């Protein structure tokens, strides 16, 4: 019986993880396409878009946090067989995401220069980045809707549909990038601004495709009437579970953006090198982050069925897979290093930074893989989002960010020492994260009976 449960878990997780990996691969491909194409425009364009994209990274973590809150509840209610509860949860998540998306879009449209000054005092980078942010405002609005809907689809096992939507958006994004960056087919040659226009256009088309999928769906739809569906208990559960997850992701992403603030004030060479490193690291973490997402969905479904022992065994299997995928991710970064160094057209100093930043990330991937699987996958599957919020907030804001600012601006260490110290953040929290996993306190059935 135990071997059958193990075999079922492995077969189910690989069915879920493959579409998620494809989705994450395409997402990383879009980022790399931006850098590759902008490499022909100039180092300033690469640096400006890299800095301006930090806002999209923060916004992604906001939507990811809201989507996680929806996923925690929807995955368990799907295991329980309660589709009406899933519809109400989707409406609650959409309310939050639309408010936040509209706020970001308004600031990006009207105050893009102020947003850029947070990251750099270089006037050229501010000008390029501001034009990028102004056109990105449209994509923020679309993203706030699609991310929640696709998160709900993933939570009930419809990962292939979610992936198909992302494949459409990402493929269009890469194609339109080339059109607007280089001025193909009679289009204007817009450089960095073209990246933003391509992203917004592809997001609009993705949103339209989501409405088409919704029209063909018999149960879970993208229906704005869900915005007005009310259930006090589900709203309480969503805020209780989602707000710590949202706070966790915002706290972590804003702190991680502070790394870019630190690097951004160490010179354009460091910024340009880091732009390439982010792309390579994204490819290195695709497999392990995909495993964390798939594992979280599957464990949530199992817990919703009230199969606690099966969930505990599944978490053990997921951890073994994470260690393997983390090691593979590190090898991917290592294998990509000579290729990136051969291709990148940067200054000699930037190339020096790039080489050693990539080597540091060969082991950094493992730290990120284990923590993401446990905090964002296993713990949240069991309804435990509070621990991750506390752990990441302390780790990033009491340790990593102050250490980075102190190293860079007080004792003024060399750039590579500053970067090395910033990349210790994932390993510092390992003892507490692993201890919490072994305690089993994360394992909870969060569904309710008689909601309606």
Do the domain assignments include residue 445? no
The answer to whether residue 447 sits within a structural domain is: no
| Tens-digit pLDDT string for the chain (452 aa) | 344 445 678 888 888 888 888 877 776 666 566 666 666 666 677 777 777 877 887 787 788 778 878 888 898 898 888 888 999 999 999 999 999 999 989 998 899 888 888 877 878 888 888 888 888 888 888 888 998 998 899 888 888 888 888 788 888 888 887 888 778 887 777 777 888 888 889 889 999 999 998 888 877 888 888 888 888 899 999 988 888 988 887 888 788 878 888 988 888 888 888 888 988 898 888 888 888 888 888 998 899 888 999 999 999 999 999 999 999 999 999 999 999 998 877 888 989 999 999 999 999 999 999 999 999 889 999 989 999 999 999 999 999 999 999 999 999 999 999 999 999 999 999 999 999 999 999 999 888 887 77
Structural domains of the chain, count:
1
Would you say residue 444 lies in a domain? Answer: no
Question: Is the residue at 449 inside a domain?
Answer: no
Q: Is residue 432 part of a domain?
A: yes
Which residues form the domain of 412?
2-227+240-439
Q: Is residue 252 part of a domain?
A: yes
* pTM for the full predicted model: 0.77
Q: In this structure, is residue 232 part of a structural domain?
A: no
Which residue has 């069925």 as its token pair? 305
In a domain, 361, yes or no: yes
């Amino acid at each position: 019986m135990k071997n059958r449960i193990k075999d079922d878990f492995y077969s189910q997780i690989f069915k879920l993880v493959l579409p998620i990996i494809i989705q994450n691969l395409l997402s990383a491909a879009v980022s790399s396409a931006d850098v590759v194409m902008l490499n022909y425009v100039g180092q300033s364009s690469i640096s400006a878009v890299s800095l301006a994209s930090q806002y999209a990274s923060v916004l992604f973590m906001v939507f990811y946090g809201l989507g996680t809150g929806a996923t925690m509840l929807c995955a368990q209610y799907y295991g329980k067989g309660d589709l009406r509860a899933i519809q109400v949860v989707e409406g609650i998540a959409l309310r939050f995401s639309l408010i936040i998306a509209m706020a970001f879009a308004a600031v990006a449209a009207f105050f893009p220069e102020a947003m850029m000054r947070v990251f750099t005092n270089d006037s050229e980078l501010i000008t390029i980045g501001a034009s990028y942010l102004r056109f990105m405002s449209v994509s923020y609005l679309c993203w706030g809707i699609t991310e929640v809907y696709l998160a709900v689809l993933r939570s009930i096992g419809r990962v292939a549909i979610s992936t198909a939507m992302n494949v459409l958006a990402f493929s269009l994004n890469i194609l339109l990038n080339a059109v607007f960056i280089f001025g193909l087919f009679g289009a204007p040659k817009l450089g960095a601004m073209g990246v933003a226009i391509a992203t917004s256009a592809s997001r609009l088309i993705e949103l339209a495709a989501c409405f088409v999928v919704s029209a063909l769906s018999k149960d879970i739809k993208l229906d704005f009437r869900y915005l007005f569906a009310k259930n006090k208990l589900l709203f309480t559960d969503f805020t209780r579970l989602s707000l710590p997850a949202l706070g966790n992701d915002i706290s972590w992403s804003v702190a991680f953006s502070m790394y870019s603030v630190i690097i951004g004030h160490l010179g354009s060479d460091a910024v340009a090198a880091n732009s390439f490193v982010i792309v390579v690291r994204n490819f290195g973490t695709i497999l392990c982050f995909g495993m964390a997402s798939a594992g979280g969905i599957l464990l949530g479904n199992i817990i919703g069925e009230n199969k606690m022992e099966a969930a505990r065994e599944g978490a053990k299997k997921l951890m073994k897979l994470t260690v393997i995928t983390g090691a593979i991710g590190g090898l991917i970064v290592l294998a990509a290093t000579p290729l990136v160094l051969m291709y990148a057209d940067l200054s000699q100093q930037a190339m020096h930074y790039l080489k050693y930043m990539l080597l540091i990330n060969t082991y950094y991937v493992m730290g990120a893989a284990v923590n993401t699987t446990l905090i964002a996958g296993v713990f949240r599957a069991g309804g435990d989002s509070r621990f991750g919020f506390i752990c990441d907030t302390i780790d990033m804001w009491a340790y990593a960010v102050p250490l980075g600012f102190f190293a860079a601006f007080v004792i003024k260490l060399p750039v590579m020492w500053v970067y090395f110290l910033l990349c210790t953040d994932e390993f510092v929290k390992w003892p507490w994260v692993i201890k919490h996993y072994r305690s089993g306190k994360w394992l909870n059935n969060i569904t309710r009976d008689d909601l309606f």
